[in-house]
Amino acid sequence: MPVHVALLRAVNVGGTGSLPMADLRAICEGLGFADVKTYIQSGNVLFRSELPAGDAAKMLDEALREKLGKAPGVMIRSGTELQGIADRAPFPDAKPNLLLVVFLPEPAPADALDKLVAPDGEEVQMAGSEIYIHYPNGSGPSKLKLPAAKPGTARNLNTVRKLAALALDMEG
């Protein structure tokens, strides 16, 4: 059975969308997903399901809407996809904790970087349904503006690599 990695948007970040990981596991198990595992308190969950990724994402988003009062947004990638995303990361001199990958629900439009404002030397590169952002001074103090990233959810490169390893390990 395929392994899916669900990346939830706006969960447990900055005090908004609080969702204990035990509750997230229970919701996933209630949907019939198997071998459910969460990783760190930022809305990452791995599970097995025969459902296509898009269907699993919609089911989980709807279940979270019922629990949280609004759908947070769920992006799903496979372990192989995550490994490829990590392997293709640009900005080779960037520290992995300062290189974020924004996962989008669909490919970014061609003009996604047109409204980019990067006043602190941030570097940005699009790649399909992901946007890579290098924050040389960290993302906290950054004044970066990138409207195309709004529907997505970001994870640093260390987290992407760990999620890929966990998923590939589950796949055997």
Looking at the fold, whether 122 and 59 belong to one and the same domain comes out as: no
Residue that is last in its domain, among 77, 102, 130: 77
- List the one residue out of 76, 71, 80, 16 whose CA is nearest residue 45: 76
Three-class secondary structure of residue 127 per DSSP? strand
Confidence of residue 96 (pLDDT cuts 50, 70, 90): very high
Spatial distance between the Cα atoms of 157 and 103, rounded to a whole number of angstroms:
12
The total domain count for the chain is 2
Q: Tell me which amino acid residue 121 is.
A: G
* Residue 82 counted as domain residue: no
Q: Which of 61, 43, 34, 52 is nearest to 159 (CA)?
A: 43
Any domain includes 22: yes
Do 113 and 52 lie in one domain? The reply is no
Residue 117 belongs to what domain range? 87-169
Give 36-88 pLDDT, tens digit per residue: 999 998 899 999 999 999 999 999 999 999 999 999 999 999 999 999 999 99
Expressed in angstroms, the distance from the first to the final Cα of the chain is 11
Residue range 22-35, pLDDT digits in tens = 999 999 999 999 99
